[in-house]
Chains A and B, each alone.
Chain A
Amino acid sequence: MPTKLSARFCSFVLSLFLIAFALPAFAGPFEDAVAKFANDDFSDTDEAIGVVAGSGNKLAFPIISALQDGRLMADPDTKKVYVTGTDGKSIDAATGEAVASVPDSASAVRLNNRLRRSVDAALGSLTLQSPDLVARLQAAQSVFKSHEETALDPVEGALAKETNKSVKTALGEARAAILLFKSDATEVQKLEAVATIKARGDQDALALLSDIGTDQPASVAKAATSAIGSIQSSLAVWSSVQNAWYGLSLGSVLLLAAIGLAITFGVMGVINMAHGEMVMIGAYTTFVVQEVIRTRYPALFDYSLLIAVPLAFLVAGGIGVLIERSIIRFLYGRPLETLLATWGLSLVLQQAVRTMFGPTNREVGNPSWMSGAFELGQITITYNRLWILCFTLAVFVILLAMLRYTALGLEMRAVTQNRRMAASMGIATSRVDALTFGLGSGIAGIAGVALSQIDNVSPNLGQSYIIDSFMVVVFGGVGNLWGTLVGAFTLGVANKFLEPVAGAVLGKIAILVLIILFIQKRPRGLFALKGRAVEA
């Protein structure tokens, strides 16, 4: 008998409330609304959110925020709703009284995108005055997006109390947004609103302004259109900056993929078709590292990449040395045969990984410091791309320094320039060869760690980069690291400026054709060695 139950329950609630807040409460709209959560029907939930948020009840905030992160449990049989606190303790959503445990029949109230939006809106008006600055900022933002009239008073209230500058502006914009859509707002208010939003000048502002509808006063409509115009023009400028950034980021990826090849192929003249697989091995190393960390020491997850980088270098490098000792070294002076052997090798490595890890993609997560993005002016810069760019340059510099200043680097250059002479001067050429190849492979492995952050970790990973890598190295000029650097960034930027015009596919084709024609002009690449040294 639910009715009787609820009746008794209400009297109980009454007494409790008398104690708790010393003000009378009845099984009013709030309780009914809360009960609606248990219907597991999206539109009911939507209503409930509205009512609860508007009720001004102390429980509103805990309920809605619980709803947002799936802590609001509802029992379809008893129509009872519970809030499970972050601390694991639960309370009855309708009454706020603590309950020992949530019945097993209860399940989390489900959301869909529409509901998530109303939840945000609700929380927006609820958290406008939260002590937490970030929360306030977010609240203001979500009100700006939802701009529901009901939020006007809270916003103005908050605006009056607000001290922090950035939050103040955010609130101002939120207020403007609301006014702009408020039917009975005065023309003056609306004009001010337009000005405020224009000042904001980003794509959300654009969205808002282009959405104000037709029932606006002429002057406001006019102001809005001009505002849209100016925002768009400023955004147009920014978009070319954005393209440049995308180009650099793509270039860094190309460079990272190619730089190892610049050593094995450029310096040693080994046409290493298994280079891509070295990259892949690096990526899988990252995967393994993260697996271990996930299962053993979850706390370390953010450091997983830092651990993976040296490991990937060692694993890929080690395999590289192994390959050099067992295959490549028999093929010096006949680069072509290295092409054949390494091609066969790449097949073997791919299939090996496929049998070990399965053919499907493996999940490699982004550590927190590599996920998300930040706004620089009007362009979005994603952290993973930014880090990859820095990482690439770091690798490049270190490599360069290594070649220039370390003994090994010196020996490498000696051997590659004149093997016989180097040997006669007592350099263990075979050792140097092995190490050089290992170095190249190791760097490919490192590249794999970075690429695992933006691409599939699958047995085919390497294949997708090998051709581009060769293009970069050849375009830059074989045997010249700087050439590789310039080549990579040139191709990257060119590609990204072509893409909006020609589309992704035609853009890539255009780049390839350009490379072909360029090689006609500079048959030995961008940074070719001149003089008799090359010929004789």
Chain B
Amino acid sequence: MPTKSIHDIAASFSRRGVLAATTGLLLGLASISGAKAADDTIKVGVLHSLSGTMAISETTLKDTILFLIDEQNKKGGVLGKKLEAVVVDPASNWPLFAEKARELITKDKVAVVFGCWTSVSRKSVLPVFKELNNILFYPVQYEGEESERNVFYTGAAPNQQAIPAVDYLMKEEKVKRWVLAGTDYVYPRTTNKILEAYLKSKGVAQEDIMINYTPFGHSDWQTIVADIKKFGSAGKKTAVVSTINGDANVPFYKELGNQGIKAKDIPVVAFSVGEEELAGIDTKPLVGHLAAWNYFESIKTPANEKFIKDWQAYTKNPKRTTNDPMEAHVIGFNMWVKAVEKVKSTDPDKVIDALPGIEAANLTGGTSKMLPNHHITKPVFIGEIKGNGQFDVVWKTPGLVAGDAWSKELDGSKDLIGDWVGKKCGNFNTKTNKCLGSGS
């Protein structure tokens, strides 16, 4: 029936119509691709959500990179060329991340990309970076279990955040009973698995561990906070290890404060709550609750004070806070610059091979080093929330902790290592001496 209808009409319409339309479209398409990278600048891709749910966290990171590029250009750029930022908005939409990554690399011909926050966005762009062989610097603490040739992880791996925090609570606060509360996605899931295994290895009994997951942006915490209270009243010293994701934290802490859970009774140590998140809360009822990071704005070092000063000057906002992922970008950016200057080229292959071993000063007085598994060494700090929304560092690791791509505590990965220098492999099984799967 339709074929018929088309047939008899096909007679009546102009062949030129189609021709015009098609060629027009094609030309349009092709011309879009016409954008060429200017030769006198090095393009740097910025792939952070500026709208949608993740804008809350990611916008700051975009500004950070722009700030760093600005600073670098003041120093004369890199290899005598100015850096030029290419900003796109993946709008907190994961497929869009992949699409934008592709656009940055193929259309804008960027030399490196700084971006992503959530694990899913990273997973979504991974294939693109592998296929088009470019570089991604990923600045956020994450669940580990990954080491890719094209990705450099400047955020904390679980062993650079979770484990030290738990150790602190055991030693300093004599905690015997644990609530592992998290948002139901892969980072908390993995972290809690690791912690569960770790706690058991320290002789904590199953009934002294309570695990609870909540959906994204969970806003009604009455029941769960009450449960925590109940769980905490079993006589043993109890602490909450929170992997609750950004948005849900404000109502969570508000409920904690209102239900009168004081840090001295049940301390909460959080891995995703930094200065930015606290900016949304009145922290007075929360004084004493903890967070584990590799950087705190309140840390007094010349480098950090200068950074904060310049940053606030750049953003023209004397109240603008800094946080851990920002520092990660600072370290990553400087490492990339050093690597590029080392090999006198922005060619991804050369830079990727040059990066491991590169050292860059972090803002907390140490010097971080890029490891063969594309993670970096970082100090770990435990900070107590203060009344002014800042953190008071109550404990730090003696030295720098090397990031493990693969967690020793998980069956799947205890034998794996990532080594892009010697083994040229991201998931090398030390037992079987084989490089698994697609890793190479």
Interface residues of A (CB under 8 A from B): 42, 110, 112-114, 116-117, 120, 203-204, 206-211, 239, 242-243, 246, 249-250, 253, 350-351, 354, 358-363, 365-366, 371-373, 380, 382-385, 453-460, 463-464, 496, 499-500, 503-505, 508
For A350, A496, A505, the residue with the greatest tally of chain B CB atoms inside 10 Å of its CB is A505
Given A211, A354, A508, which contacts B235 in the complex, CB threshold below 8 Å?
Answer: A211
- Are the CB atoms of A208 and B224 closer together than 8 Å? no
Task: Give complex CA distance A220, B384 in Å.
Answer: 40
Given contacts A204-B233, A365-B282, contact A454 B56 (CB under 8 A): no
Nearest A residue to B50, CB-CB: A359
B55 near A: Cβ within 8 Å?
Answer: yes
Q: Is B353 an interface residue (CB 8 A)?
A: no
- Cβ of A249: which chain B residues have Cβ within 8 Å of it? 222
A250 to chain B, nearest CB (A): 5
Give me 17 A-to-B residue pairs in the complex whose CB atoms sit less than 8 angstroms apart, sorted by A's number.
A113-B264, A113-B288, A204-B233, A206-B234, A208-B235, A246-B220, A250-B220, A361-B56, A361-B279, A361-B280, A363-B279, A366-B258, A366-B282, A372-B258, A454-B254, A460-B56, A505-B213
Asked if residues B250 and A211 are in contact (CB atoms below 8 Å), the reply is no
Q: How far is the CB of B234 from chain A (nearest CB, A)?
A: 6
* B215 pairs with A203, CB closer than 8 A: no
Alpha-carbon separation in the docked complex, A373 to B52 (Å): 34
In the bound complex, residues from chain B placing their C-beta under 8 Å from that of A358 are 59
Which of A239, A249, A359, A372 has most chain B Cβ within 10 Å? A359
Contact B234 A210 (CB under 8 A): yes
Closest to A492 in B: B220
B52, B53, B219, B259: the one contacting A382 at CB < 8 Å is: B259
* Extra A-B contacts (7), CB below 8 Å, given A359-B56, A458-B56, A500-B223: A112-B384, A246-B220, A361-B277, A373-B260, A383-B258, A460-B52, A460-B217
CB distance B250 to A456 under 8 Å? Answer: yes
Partner of A454, one of B59, B251, B259, B260: B251
**Is B247 on the interface with A (CB-CB < 8 A)?**
yes
**A114, A496, A504: the one within 8 Å of B172 (CB):** A114
Please tell me if B285 contacts chain A, counting CB pairs below 8 Å. Answer: yes
The smallest C-beta distance from B188 to any residue of chain A, in angstroms, reads 13
A179 to chain B, nearest CB (A): 17
Residue pair A354, B282 in contact (C-beta under 8 Å): no
Q: In the complex, are the beta carbons of B263 and A116 less than 8 A apart? A: yes
Q: Which 8 A-B pairs have the closest CB atoms?
A: A361-B280, A211-B235, A203-B233, A210-B235, A382-B258, A359-B55, A207-B233, A116-B264
Fill in one digit per residue for B13-52: 1 if any A CB lies within 8 Å of its CB, else 0: 0000000000000000000000000000000000000111
B186-243 contacts to A (CB < 8 Å): 212-215, 217-220, 222-224, 226-227, 229-230, 232-236
A246 touches B280 (CB 8 A): no
The answer to whether A362 and B215 touch (CB under 8 A), given A113-B263, A113-B288, A455-B250, is no
Is B55 in contact with A206, judged by CB distance below 8 angstroms?
no
A456 and B55 contact, CB distance less than 8 A: no
A455 in complex: contacting residue of B222, B233, B251, B257, CB < 8 Å: B251
For residue B178, give the distance in angstroms from its CB to the closest CB of chain A: 15
User: Is residue B392 within 8 Å, beta carbon to beta carbon, of the partner chain?
Assistant: yes
C-alpha spacing A54/B282, complex, angstroms: 36
Among B227, B258, B392: residue with most chain A CB under 10 A: B258
For residue A117, which residue of chain B has the nearest CB?
A: B264
User: Once the chains bind, are A363 and B280 in contact (CB under 8 Å)?
Assistant: yes
B305 within 8 A of A: no
* Residues of chain A within 8 A of B280, CB atoms compared: 360-363, 456-458
Nearest B residue (CB) for A365: B282
**Is the beta-carbon distance between B214 and A359 smaller than 8 angstroms?**
no
On chain B, the residues within 8 Å of A120 by CB distance are: 264
Q: What total count of A-B pairs have CB within 8 Å?
A: 149
Report B's interface with A, CB cutoff 8 A.
50-53, 55-56, 59-60, 172-174, 184, 212-215, 217-220, 222-224, 226-227, 229-230, 232-236, 247, 250-251, 254-255, 257-260, 263-264, 267, 276-277, 279-282, 285, 288, 384, 389, 392, 394
Q: Are B56 and A360 in contact (CB under 8 A)?
A: yes
A354–B219 alpha-carbon span in the complex (Å): 21
Across-interface contacts of A384 in B (CB, < 8 A): 254, 258
Q: Determine which of A42, A114, A239, A359 lies in contact with B59 in the assembled complex, contact meaning CB atoms within 8 Å.
A: A359
Beta-carbon contact of A360 and B60 below 8 Å: yes
Complex contacts, B288 vs chain A, CB 8 Å: 112-113, 116
* Central interface residue in B219, B223, B247, by most chain A CB within 10 Å: B223
Note all chain B residues with C-beta closer than 8 A to A361. Answer: 56, 250, 276-277, 279-281
Which of B230, B260, B279 is within 8 Å of A360, CB to CB? Answer: B279
Q: Give the shortest distance, in Å, between A209 (CB) and chain B (any CB).
A: 8
* Docked pose: A116 CA to B392 CA in angstroms: 14
Give, as a whole number of angstroms, the nearest-CB distance from A282 to chain B: 16
CB neighbours of A116 from chain B (8 A): 263-264, 288
Q: Contact at B222–A246, with CB atoms within 8 Å?
A: yes
- Contact (Cβ within 8 A) B251 A459: no
Residue from B217, B232, B389 in contact with A464 in the complex, judged by beta carbons closer than 8 Å: B217
A167 to chain B, nearest CB (A): 20
* B223 proximity list for chain A (CB < 8 A): 243, 246, 496, 499-500, 504
Q: In the complex, what distance in Å separates the CA atom of A463 from the CA atom of B92?
A: 14
B-side contacts of A351, CB under 8 Å = 51
Determine the distance from Cα of A209 to Cα of B258 in the docked complex, in whole angstroms: 26
**B62, chain A: closest CB distance, angstroms:** 10
CB pair A504 B56 closer than 8 Å: no
Contacts A250-B220, A380-B226 given: A112-B172 contact, CB under 8 Å? yes
Q: Give the shortest distance, in Å, between B176 (CB) and chain A (any CB).
A: 10
| Known A-B contacts A382-B255, A499-B223; A207 and B234 likewise in contact (beta carbons under 8 Å) | yes
Within the assembled complex, what's the spacing in Å between the Cα atoms of A4 and B12?
A: 114
A382 contacts which chain B residues (CB < 8 A)? 222, 255, 258-259
Interface pair A460/B53, CB less than 8 Å apart: yes
Contact of A253 with B56 in the complex, beta carbons under 8 Å: no
Measured in the bound complex, the distance between the Cα atoms of B219 and A250 in whole Å is 10
Does A253 lie within 8 Å of B220, measured CB to CB?
yes
Q: Are B51 and A112 in contact (CB under 8 A)?
A: no
Min CB–CB distance B58 → chain A (angstroms): 8
